[in-house]
Structure 1
Amino acid sequence: MDVSLTAAHWVYLGGIIVILGTMLMRKNIVVPAVIGTFLTAFVFSDSLVTGLASIFNASLVAARELFNIFLIISLVTAMLGALRQMGADRLMVAPFRRVMRGGTSSFIVLAVVTYTISLFFWPTPAVPLIGAVLIPVAIRAGLPPMAVGMAIAICGQGMALSSDYIIKVAPGLSAKSAGVDPDVVADRALVMSLIVGLTALLIAYFTQRRHMRRPAPELLTDWEARAESDFGKPGGDAPGGGATPTGGAAIGRTPAEAATSAAPPTSTAVLAEPVTASARQVIDDTFQSIRAAKTFAILVPTAYLAFIVYLMVGKFTDLVPDLKGGDAAAMVGGIAALILFAAAATNDKKGFLETTSEHLIDGLVFAFKAMGIVIPIAGFFFIGNGDFSAAILGLPADATGPTLLFDLVNAAQSHLPQNAFVTSFGILAIGMIAGLEGSGFTGLPLTGSLAGALGPAVGMDPATLAAIGQMGNIWSGGGTFVAWSSLIAVAGFARVPVLELARKCFVPVVSGLVLSTALSVLIF
């Protein structure tokens, strides 16, 4: 298909090149993204007013599209804050220590659990579940936070989502555009995804292995405190930094330890004396706190396990509605909110309305301070997507926005040489570029169409080329090395900078993609 490129296309392409170059230099890309948005809108509309307004509109559109991720991070973070106040977080993760005894075993368990849940239900509900239950265990076992983020991103947003073998939305889109059997695309995508994922996991493991430490409770305390301190917290008090919430155990200690430190200095000397009313009250409060912590330590995993069972019943039977994607994530957030209310009421019966609000505010502040940087970056890539560009450019509601990114990709594909290897890697590159707008699925019709058109010309099965394009689309835009995608959620729960996580994942994932593509040409 002939594509007529305008000046706006070339300006947008220049913005992409500058952003990628800035990322390679390990610099922040917010300023280039904002300037790129302004220049693209200005050149497209030939209006300074539209160019300036696009800076705000792009961030507004991006915030609207990404807010569901921010909100679920906020709710789960708020829930964990209430659990941490009573010491239930440490009791909750204690059973997993039997399996996750060190950094290596934690890395393997995170990878397997993430892949299994994401394969059946997509990564959207999987990441909050793992963030609430398994990530604290992995941190305590000595696995560095960056390795946690890499394992979850590679196995969930990458390996499971790129094949989409159970739900089969991605293979269906690719196959329909290529004019081939969806099951064939799904089978080949599954093999490719495993090659990419295992390669990326091995590289990630060996690059992070030297950062692993001996298991220790202090690692979890330091991780919680450092994360809150780095991202900021109202009033400057970081959990684990010495501030003890009213009515609860000190952060980083069990209720028993908190009670011990809270007991009067002379308590040991007066044990032989009659127990006073105030001392008895301290003892009663301590035992009540311990019971509450144990109750919630059992309640939280049980609630999320019941949710997983519900998802499985809905998937394989007609007894309950089948939840997918956003609906499943909404359920995770709703469960977190109810547990937050119950935990806050247990911690502070008289003032739980106020303490609940404080936990929610802390969760929102954490989510936006940690992840808000991606909003203007996503805005730049959204202006190249026809689904969002009209709103950013201020076009009428019924107008069709420009598809700058896809136009550039369509123009480039006509220059691919007629060779199986070159064509395969060309479609892979096109898929990866199409994924730069942060969604792993919107580029699938494009790569599928190219596979159907170019496959017979180079003597390759279009289903193979469609699966290769699917790998590029989803490993890029699905959330492994594009920071303005669902990688935000992974970084939020691992509590690492999202741009740094994207950079760390780049080499392992691209290495796996190159190996997978080369083997696919030879095997299929």
Structure 2
Amino acid sequence: MLVYFAFILLIIIAISFKKKPVIIAAIGLLAVGVLDTGSFFGGIQAAFRGFLLTAADLLPIILLIGLVVAMTGMLKETKTETILIKPILKIKNAAYLYWLAGVMLLTFSLFLWPTPAVSLLGALILPLIHRSRISPLGLAVGLCIFGEGIALAGDYVIQGAPSLSARSAGVALEQVLRQSLPLVCGSGIIASLIGFRMMMVQQKKNIPAYVVADNRERLDGQKGEEQQKEFDVLSPIKQNHQIQKRKRMILALAAVAFYLLAVIWLIYGRLRGDSAVAVIGGVTLLVLILGTILTDYKTSFNTFGRHIQTGMKFSMEVFAPIVVISGFFLLGTHSGYENVLLHQGAGYLEQLAYKLSGIVVLNKYSCALLVMLTAVLGAMSGSGFAALPLAGGIAAALGQAAGISAVPLAVLGQVTAIWTDAAVIPWGFPAIVSAVTQTEAAQIVRLNVLPWLAALCFSLIWTLFSY
């Protein structure tokens, strides 16, 4: 256990020094495997099982992000993106775009959950970033805050998170929903305002050259498509690959119609998780095929393969290090401890949480802090949901031992776990957002720290005053 936490400390130090901790996580997984199994060959097998389990969990997202990037590349190459985002491009103020994208993602996430929602919105986000003045990093911060931080912390539509917290803590679902409302609203408002401020600072500090070029062309007036090609350095395309305006319009209308039908299907069919990912992925693939054939059916064999290769290459480059890091933190969870190390019992992070709860003097202050620590440790696996059973169980045990209600503690653990995964775990939700916005997950996390701390501080203070 000590070796495991020593490597966690090294990973945190590496991140703080802006270094990628991939090799540390890989060595840590191998070292813990060897020490735990008592065999070098057993440790090697455990390390590979950790990678394999994590890759299997992330594979639907890797494929979905790859398809979204491939489709976005096709839309840019055919200039169809200009039709799709033309209404939004009329909003020249980056501040409006921040709130618009945030509210859109919040709405989608409430019905679809964050990962399918941000992937669905990615078809709009990527062209929006390429052809507007908004900072990709600033927008990414907002997507983390709205997409998972606010939407999943309450999860009032699907009610997966509160149901899990309620069952783990042994309390009624209605109590969790009612108690979480002020925490979710208050923390969300504070975090989104801080995120907006950080986006505006980032806006002034760093506007990519291609964005400036695109906007100079757009703001100087309509000067024809020949000038647009000159400025649009992100979408180089040969003249013989241009499609007629009518085909672009057909493709744009078809894309919008397919995605609207997908949203209706997801809502009325109550599809969640992998089922929702499959729907979005299938629709994205359909649009990609249609666009490739409409562009030039004679070259569609080669063009389609090129788009797929580009999208999957980008997705694999983003998620390859995440597989390694998440595989290491998988050892801290119950499922990882059993499936990777082949032992029965709680994972290393869970063991630490239970030990801490047994040596600290219990009152409402220490109980709240222990639940928050437990939630943060659990969320380090890259899944806020994975921390909810642990946080709920700790809340119930501490509440009973201290003679206080477990409901506020369970809600605090729920909000803390979701916000942690949403904001400050580079291999968690920020990794998905980074893939959609084509930014670095580590950079997003550094900007997310302040909104995350503010959200957690508000939640802690509100919980303490609720007793």
Q: TM-score by structure 2 length?
A: 0.90
Alignment correspondent of 1:36: 28
Alignment correspondent of 2:336: 388
Distance in 2, matches of 1:138 and 1:21, equals 32
3-state SS of paired residue (2:408): helix
Offset of residue 456 of structure 1: 4.5
Offset of residue 187 of structure 1: 2.1
Distance in 2, matches of 1:79 and 1:222, equals 21
Q: In the alignment, is the contact (CA less than 8 A) between 1:481 and 1:506 conserved in 2?
A: yes
Alignment correspondent of 2:5: 13
- Which residue of the other structure, out of 139, 155, 163, is the alignment partner of 1:164? 155
Q: Which runs of 5+ in 2 are unaligned?
A: 216-231
- Which residue of the other structure, out of 75, 88, 105, is the alignment partner of 1:83? 75
Alignment correspondent of 2:218: none
Alignment correspondent of 1:284: none
Q: Is 2:8 the partner of 1:60? A: no
- Which residue of the other structure, out of 376, 385, 408, is the alignment partner of 2:352? 408
- Aligned amino acid, residue 312 of structure 2: L
Q: Is 2:281 the partner of 1:333? A: yes
- Which residue of the other structure, out of 296, 301, 321, is the alignment partner of 2:251? 296
Offset of residue 243 of structure 1: 4.5
- Which residue of the other structure, out of 481, 494, 512, is the alignment partner of 2:455? 512
Range with greater deviation from structure 2 (417-426 or 493-502): 417-426
Q: TM-score by structure 1 length?
A: 0.81
Q: Which has the higher helix share?
A: 2
3-state SS of paired residue (2:332): coil
CA pair 215-299 structure 1, distance change in 2 beyond 3 A: farther
Aligned residues: 450
Offset of residue 46 of structure 1: 1.2
Distance in 2, matches of 1:362 and 1:323, equals 29
Q: Is 2:227 the partner of 1:211? A: no
Q: Is 2:454 the partner of 1:522? A: no
Which has the greater radius of gyration?
Answer: 1
Alignment correspondent of 2:95: 104
Q: Residue by residue, what CA displacement relative to the aligned partner does 1:9-52 show, whole Å, maximum 9, x if unpaired?
A: 12112111221222222221112111211111111111112223
Alignment correspondent of 1:369: 317
Distance in 1, matches of 2:41 and 2:189, equals 49
Q: Residue by residue, what CA displacement relative to the aligned partner does 1:408-434 show, whole Å, maximum 9, x if unpaired?
A: 211112123222122112211111111
- Aligned amino acid, residue 29 of structure 1: P
Alignment correspondent of 1:468: 412
Alignment correspondent of 1:450: 394
3-state SS of paired residue (1:165): coil
3-state SS of paired residue (1:442): helix
- Aligned amino acid, residue 341 of structure 1: I
Q: Within 5 A, what are the aligned runs for 1:90-489?
A: 90-98=82-90, 100-137=91-128, 140-212=131-203, 218-219=210-211, 240=233, 243-245=236-238, 247-249=240-242, 289-312=244-267, 314=268, 321-393=269-341, 395=342, 400=344, 403-458=347-402, 460-477=404-421, 479-489=422-432
Offset of residue 88 of structure 1: 0.2
CA pair 458-220 structure 1, distance change in 2 beyond 3 A: farther
CA pair 175-32 structure 1, distance change in 2 beyond 3 A: same
Q: In the alignment, is the contact (CA less than 8 A) between 2:76 and 2:235 conserved in 1?
A: no
3-state SS of paired residue (1:143): coil
Q: In the alignment, is the contact (CA less than 8 A) between 2:334 and 2:345 conserved in 1?
A: yes
CA pair 245-492 structure 1, distance change in 2 beyond 3 A: farther
CA pair 215-511 structure 1, distance change in 2 beyond 3 A: closer
Q: Residue by residue, what CA displacement relative to the aligned partner does 1:292-321 show, whole Å, maximum 9, x if unpaired?
A: 112222222222122222333x1xxxxxx3
Q: Residue by residue, what CA displacement relative to the aligned partner does 1:80-99 show, whole Å, maximum 9, x if unpaired?
A: 1111121001111001234x
Offset of residue 140 of structure 1: 3.2
CA pair 211-443 structure 1, distance change in 2 beyond 3 A: closer
CA pair 153-65 structure 1, distance change in 2 beyond 3 A: same
What's the C-alpha RMSD, in Å, of the aligned pairs? Answer: 2.4
Offset of residue 326 of structure 1: 1.5
CA pair 347-217 structure 1, distance change in 2 beyond 3 A: farther
Q: In the alignment, is the contact (CA less than 8 A) between 1:79 and 1:336 conserved in 2?
A: yes
Offset of residue 66 of structure 1: 0.9
Distance in 2, matches of 1:116 and 1:460, equals 35
Offset of residue 150 of structure 1: 0.9
3-state SS of paired residue (2:380): helix
- Aligned amino acid, residue 462 of structure 1: A
Q: In the alignment, is the contact (CA less than 8 A) between 1:125 and 1:329 conserved in 2?
A: yes
Distance in 2, matches of 1:370 and 1:434, equals 23
CA pair 451-326 structure 1, distance change in 2 beyond 3 A: same
CA pair 465-446 structure 1, distance change in 2 beyond 3 A: same
| Overall identity of the aligned pairs, in % | 27
Q: Is 2:446 the partner of 1:503? A: yes
Distance in 1, matches of 2:67 and 2:171, equals 43
Offset of residue 390 of structure 1: 4.1
Q: Is 2:16 the partner of 1:24? A: yes
- Aligned amino acid, residue 489 of structure 1: I
Distance in 2, matches of 1:145 and 1:516, equals 28
